[in-house]
Amino acid sequence: MSTEKIKNSLKTGSDKDGYFGEYGGIAAGENLMNNLEELKKAFEAAIKDKKFLDEFAYYCKHWIGRPSPIYFAERITNKIGGAKIYFKQEHLNHTGSHKPTNTLFQVLLAKRMGKKKIICESGAGQHWSAAAATAAKFGMPIVGVMGKIDCARVNQNLIKAKHYGGKLKIVEGSLREAITAAIKEWSNNPDYYYLIGSTCSSSPFVDIVRYAQSIIGKEMREQFMELEGKLPNEIIACAGAGSNFTGSIFEFLDEPEIKKVVVEAEETAALTNGTKGIQQGMVTKFLQSDDGSKSLGGSSLGAGIMYYGISPQLAHLKDIGAIEASTANDKELLETYKLVAQNEGIGISFEPAAAVTEALKRAKGKPKDYIICATACGRVEKDLDVIERLIGKDFE
Amino acid sequence: MIAYFVACYPNFEKSLEIIKKSIDAGVNICEIGFPTQEASGEGIIIKNAHDHCLQRNVTLKDTIKLAKAVRNYNNDVGIILMGYMSNIFKYPIKNFVSDLASVDADGCLVVDAPHELREENELRNLMNKKNLSLIKLVAPTTKEERLKKLSNLFSGWVYSLNFSGISGSKSANLEDVKNMIKKIKTYTDLPVCSGFGIKTPGDAKKMTQTGCDGVIVGSSIVEYIGKNLNDTKLPKNVGNIIKTFVEELR
Ligand SMILES: Cc1ncc(COP(=O)(O)O)c(C=O)c1O
């Protein structure tokens, strides 16, 4: 690589003020500023500590089960007729999603900082069950906050997290409200470690979660080179706030020939339809009223992608044309779930169904040696009841 | 005495009457909060009041109008708008500052705008040019080194938070407050006002022993308003409550 290329690398964290271009920053109350400064210092020191990184790598392998394999979805590929469709099988990780990589990293960081208790939010409960499992593994008490709307539809995760010893607080609403409530809990208890579940909120959280999750893309590089002898032409992943997408593409940000496509729920597509604003601790794109006093956006079957904001890093990357954004609606999520279940024997949850939906659209008619990789970031367990109720008869 | 009101709670007219009666009762500075959905620093009492106003589509524009009406009523009372960056950013910042100046308010306080936020710098610079104060907060978690940095940015007066947490959630510990006020005063000659957890006139009186130059009462006034929304004597009664605080502070 030429020095010129490295100089303009996109594979960097936020700038000294925590911004990515014009997005990001810290929009937090004064009483959290010390915590955020402390966290930034601890994070920067931890990622230079070989022992810490070795420990992270050890548990990634032996506790989470990384690397998650890539898988050639051959029957779907043949059905669509076009590009080779691959899945990055993040749903095979312990607890069933990409989330435990982040919770493992941050719980180790919390331990290193000498923190004794953990607080977190969750949307789909995937972060909640992963966080509770990780906290149990390292003997740390944990409190989670989730919205009522989500609790009603992802019961499996709530049961699992309860068994791991997590204590859940339920608030009105969904992920947006859960994030606000968790930040309030943290304000009230500044000695807690706040274990955020995605690439959102104030700096340095976006960098921390991106750092942990970028293992996804690193594995993909090795795996594709081994299996195909080349890298995929397109990488597609869904986004709530954006951690599994960022983790999938970060490794390849300096390779513009690889297309990177983020897929949001059509009903809450902040990257596509949002406007710049300052909420939830960050400057980014939100679905919001013109005066910034209210959030907008509808409801998606994908609890984990039903978020009215987006990672500030992704807002920046989209502005500069480094990534593309698309959307998927509920009908598509259900159809894609069914197609994948019936043809590949894999039950993906609604969130990755958004990514696979986009992959199917893009694969059609492409050359046979064109490779599209969609990150399958969650398994279906949490959504089974909803699917059975909506389209159970389709399978009879 | 500084009193916090939620703008247009329960509606524009009543809210204005409440503030007028409070000024009559001796409030020195009115903090007028503009409602927003997230309100990440607010406890349930103030949050509910914000929600009440949002349901009635109260905006920052309405809050500016209210501030103007308050200024028309009284020339001397301090008027500080208080809220979150979201609304100011969308207003947008430049217009917000010129409107703030044109209604002759004294400044504003933004909960989620630390000086690390570039948009805060933009707001502060524009306000400085118009001689408006962007009130800064100091929290119990603020370290000495940071306090030193903050002290260069103080304007008007300093809002000293009595505990780390959201509004209305805890009580103030007198010893801690005393130490904190002392610490802040080594870095500034501006008035230091103590807020959060001051619920009764008795609490306010105790706070005067901490060396603070003023106390801020919020949740308990908002709570009273919330419980008596339809009482025709509401403004008068709030005035009476304010009076009991002011008397203890004499
Ligand atoms: C299975 C699954 N996929 C994706 C997401 C979206 O999260 P992110 O945008 O951080 O990848 C979630 C969030 O809860 C999830 O549970």
- Considering only CB atoms, A295 lies closest to which of B37, B111, B140, namely B37
Structure tokens at A197: 């579940």
Is A34's CB within 8 Å of B90's CB?
no
pLDDT for residue A34 is more than 90:
yes
pLDDT mean over A365-372: 98
- What atom of ligand 1 comes closest to residue A245's alpha carbon? 11
Is B137's CB within 8 Å of A29's CB?
yes
Is B119's CB within 8 Å of A283's CB?
yes
Mean of pLDDT over chain B = 96
Report the residue among A126, A214, A262 best suited for mutation to probe ligand 1: largest number of ligand atoms under 8 A from its CB.
Answer: A126
Judging contacts by C-beta atoms under 8 Å, the chain B residues touching residue A19 are 118
Report the residue among A97, A156, A208 best suited for mutation to probe ligand 1: largest number of ligand atoms under 8 A from its CB.
Answer: A97
Q: Does B151 touch chain A (CB under 8 A)?
A: no
Q: Does A35 touch chain B (CB under 8 A)?
A: yes
CA A372 to CA A224: how far, in whole Å?
A: 11
pLDDT for residue B4 is more than 90:
yes
CA B201 to CA B78: how far, in whole Å?
A: 21
Q: Please tell me the predicted confidence (pLDDT) of residue A4.
A: 53
CA A303 to CA B5: how far, in whole Å?
A: 37
Coil/strand/helix, residue A325: strand
- Considering only CB atoms, B38 lies closest to which of A18, A180, A188, namely A180
Q: Distance from the CA of A103 to the center of ligand 1, in angstroms?
A: 13
Judging contacts by C-beta atoms under 8 Å, the chain B residues touching residue A190 are 141, 164
Q: Chain A: nearest CA to B239, how far in angstroms?
A: 29
Q: Report the percent of chain A where pLDDT is more than 70.
A: 98
pLDDT for residue A19 is more than 80:
yes
Whose tokens are 């400044």? That residue is B107
- Considering only CB atoms, B146 lies closest to which of A19, A33, A283, namely A33
Domain spanning A27-61+99-209: CATH 3.40.50.1100? yes
pLDDT, tens digit, 9 for 90 and up, residues B82-96: 999 999 999 999 999
pLDDT for residue A1 is more than 70:
no
pLDDT mean over A27-55: 98
For A190, nearest residue in chain B (alpha carbons)? B164
Q: Please tell me the predicted confidence (pLDDT) of residue A5.
A: 58
pLDDT, tens digit, 9 for 90 and up, residues A165-210: 999 999 999 999 999 999 999 999 999 999 999 999 999 999 999 9
pLDDT, tens digit, 9 for 90 and up, residues A262-312: 999 999 999 999 999 999 999 999 999 999 999 999 999 999 999 999 999
Rounded-to-10 torsion of CA A344, A348, A352, A357:
40
Is A183's CB within 8 Å of B139's CB?
no
pLDDT, tens digit, 9 for 90 and up, residues B74-127: 999 999 999 999 999 999 999 999 999 999 999 999 999 999 999 999 999 999
Q: Is A125 in the pocket of ligand 1 (CB under 6 A)?
A: no
Q: Distance from the CA of A244 to the center of ligand 1, in angstroms?
A: 7
Q: Which helix (H) or strand (E) holds A389?
A: helix A384-391
Topology, domain A65-97+213-395? Rossmann fold (3.40.50)
CA A192 to CA A298: how far, in whole Å?
A: 33
Do strands A282-286 and A275-279 pair parallel, antiparallel, or not at all (unpaired)?
antiparallel
pLDDT for residue A384 is more than 90:
yes
pLDDT mean over B123-133: 98
Phi first, then psi: give them for residue A370, nearest 5 degrees: -85, 130
Coil/strand/helix, residue B132: coil
Residue A122 backbone zone (phi > 0: left; psi -120 to 50: alpha; other: beta): beta
Is A190's CB within 8 Å of B61's CB?
no
User: Hey, which bits of chain B come out as E strands?
Assistant: 2-6, 29-33, 78-83, 107-110, 133-138, 158-161, 192-195, 214-217
The DSSP bridge partners found for residue A276 are A285
pLDDT for residue A72 is more than 80:
yes
Structure tokens at A183: 């930040």
Q: Is A198 in the pocket of ligand 1 (CB under 6 A)?
A: yes
- Considering only CB atoms, A278 lies closest to which of B43, B59, B119, namely B119
- For B2-249, the fitting CATH number among 3.40.50.1000, 3.60.150.10, 3.90.470.10, 3.20.20.70 is 3.20.20.70
Instruction: Locate the domains of chain A by residue range.
Output: 27-61+99-209, 65-97+213-395
* Nearest residue to A80 (alpha-carbon basis) of A269, A344, A290, A333: A344
pLDDT for residue A3 is more than 70:
no
Judging contacts by C-beta atoms under 8 Å, the chain B residues touching residue A295 are 37-38
Do strands A371-375 and A84-88 pair parallel, antiparallel, or not at all (unpaired)?
parallel
Instruction: Locate the domains of chain B by residue range.
Output: 2-249
CA A329 to CA A337: how far, in whole Å?
A: 12
pLDDT, tens digit, 9 for 90 and up, residues B206-223: 999 999 999 999 999 999
Q: Chain A: nearest CA to B95, how far in angstroms?
A: 13
Q: Chain B: nearest CA to A278, how far in angstroms?
A: 5
Q: Is A244 in the pocket of ligand 1 (CB under 6 A)?
A: yes
* Nearest residue to A103 (alpha-carbon basis) of A91, A84, A119: A119
- What atom of ligand 1 comes closest to residue A209's alpha carbon? 10
Of A1-15, A131-145, A195-209, the poorest mean pLDDT is in A1-15
Is B116's CB within 8 Å of A26's CB?
yes
Q: Does A147 touch chain B (CB under 8 A)?
A: no
Is B61's CB within 8 Å of A278's CB?
no
Q: Distance from the CA of A295 to the center of ligand 1, in angstroms?
A: 20
Q: Which of residues 244-303 of A touch B (CB under 8 A)?
A: 276-281, 283, 288, 290-295
**Amino acid found at A165:** G
Q: Does A25 touch chain B (CB under 8 A)?
A: yes
Q: Are B134 and B124 in contact (CB under 8 A)?
A: yes
Judging contacts by C-beta atoms under 8 Å, the chain A residues touching residue B89 are 276-278, 292
pLDDT mean over B170-180: 91
pLDDT for residue A7 is more than 90:
no
Is A32's CB within 8 Å of B141's CB?
yes
- Is the pTM higher than 0.80? yes
No. of helices (H) and no. of strands (E), chain A: 17, 14
User: Which residues are CB-neighbours of A377 under 8 A, at least 6 positions away?
Assistant: A90, A91, A97, A98, A237, A238, A244, A349, A351, A352, A355
Is A30's CB within 8 Å of B116's CB?
no
Judging contacts by C-beta atoms under 8 Å, the chain B residues touching residue A274 are none
pLDDT for residue B197 is more than 80:
yes
Q: What is the ipTM of this complex?
A: 0.96
pLDDT confidence of B169, banded at 50, 70, 90?
confident
Burial label for B145, CB within 10 Å (0-12, 13-18, 19+), is exposed
Buried b (16+ CB within 10 A) or exposed e, A51-67: ebeeebeebbeeebebb
pLDDT mean over A96-109: 98
pLDDT confidence of B167, banded at 50, 70, 90?
confident
- 8-state DSSP, A49: -
CA angle A348, A178, A161 (to 5 degrees): 55
CA A289 to CA A136: how far, in whole Å?
A: 41
Is A31's CB within 8 Å of B116's CB?
no
